[in-house]
Amino acid sequence: MSKWNSKKPLATLALLAWLALTAATSSLPSARANSSYPFETRFEQDLSSIALKVPHVDGIQVTRVFDFIRTVVIRIDYAEGLPDSKRITSQNRVQEELQEESYIQAVERDSISCIPEDRSCPPWPGFVIGELMVMFVDVSTDPTIHPWPDGSTLVASNVAPTSLTLTWTSTRDGANIVDYRIFGSNNLFATVSNMTHSYFVAGLMPESPYSFRVGATNVYGDYFSGATTYVVTPRPTTNVPVPGSAGAASPGHTANSDSNQPTSLFLRYWYISLLGVALVAITTAVVLVRRRNLSRG
């Protein structure tokens, strides 16, 4: 019969019951085999030792990993032809051996959940023979469980009416983080590499509130929410002309000012005078040609 130490709180029992229910109905996400989990090396060594100690057990393997709740599912390989009654006895012995380990918080059977109308549900024994769920103790310093260090921050700087810069704390070494995700008002703004720790946000509205959050994703696809920050963009101080619009100077040039107006007026009068002289010369030439033609006639 399974036993519980005084260190096992009722909350753990409730969590394992929920895990058993969802695992049995295959609705629990992020379950993986052959992935890392807390105390992996020590746990596999203990599984090998227990398999040698408990009768009729050929081996014990980890089949599923729920690292976001520090839980794994193990399967017991029995000797061939072993009846169910002896399988259950060996399973109970394995459970008792695991519960003696200080780094293990709880061990429970993988219960079968079904409705009365489901005739395929076995009436006995109510759990999967040869499977156990193991929950490890929480270690705040384990980067695979808590990738964000204590005091992690997300800071907004260079806040302008339509843009700002976000800078965040790096995750812990060994957290196996592959990228960071930036959310603004619950919308995904960007996904950047694990080597990037700042991001320039553009396209914001002036005088508008924004809440930002940074998160991290590890190699297994698990998401860990990080720090948040709240910003209100300021009001524009001046009306800056849009490049290419009327009154705006083109790159490399300066807009006209009052200082060059006398020069412009002088050139304008000079052009008008030159045009008048040209018109007089043309008119005189035409008159002379007509008089010469008349005298010959």
- Whichever domain contains 73, its CATH number is 3.30.980
Q: How many domains does the chain have?
A: 2
Q: Is the pLDDT of residue 268 over 70?
A: no
For residue range 11-25, list pLDDT tens digits in order.
455 455 545 444 444
What CATH code is carried by the domain that includes residue 204? 2.60.40.10
pTM for the model: 0.50
User: What is the structure's pLDDT at 248?
Assistant: 40
Q: Label residue 227 exposed, middle or buried (CB < 10 Å: 0-12, 13-18, 19+).
A: middle
Same domain? For 129 and 217 the reply is no
User: What is the structure's pLDDT at 241?
Assistant: 47
Tell whether 90 is covered by a domain. yes
Residue bearing the bigger pLDDT, 137 or 15: 137
Mean pLDDT of 214-230: 89
Confidence at 113, pLDDT banded by 50, 70, 90: low
User: What is the structure's pLDDT at 19?
Assistant: 53
User: What is the structure's pLDDT at 110?
Assistant: 80
Same domain? For 91 and 190 the reply is no
Domain region containing 102: 10-136
| 62: amino acid identity, one letter | V
Same domain? For 102 and 216 the reply is no
Among 65-74, 100-109, 124-133, top mean pLDDT goes to: 100-109
Same domain? For 111 and 26 the reply is yes
Same domain? For 190 and 74 the reply is no
Among candidate residues 147, 145, 128, the one with its CA nearest the CA of residue 63: 128
Per 3-state DSSP, the chain is made up of helix, strand and coil in percentages (nearest 5) of 30, 30, 40
Q: Label residue 270 exposed, middle or buried (CB < 10 Å: 0-12, 13-18, 19+).
A: exposed
Percentage above 70 pLDDT, the chain: 68
Tell whether 160 is covered by a domain. yes
Size of the chain, expressed as the number of residues it contains: 297
Cα separation, 152 vs 225, whole angstroms: 11
Sheet containing strand 104-111, edge to edge, reads 57-66, 71-78, 127-136, 104-111
Lowest mean pLDDT among 102-116, 158-172, 196-210: 102-116
Cα separation, 197 vs 131, whole angstroms: 43
Q: Is the pLDDT of residue 30 over 50?
A: no
Question: Does residue 181 contact residue 191 with C-beta atoms inside 8 Å?
Answer: yes
Same domain? For 46 and 130 the reply is yes
Same domain? For 46 and 129 the reply is yes
Same domain? For 128 and 26 the reply is yes
Q: Is the pLDDT of residue 2 over 70?
A: no
Same domain? For 125 and 187 the reply is no
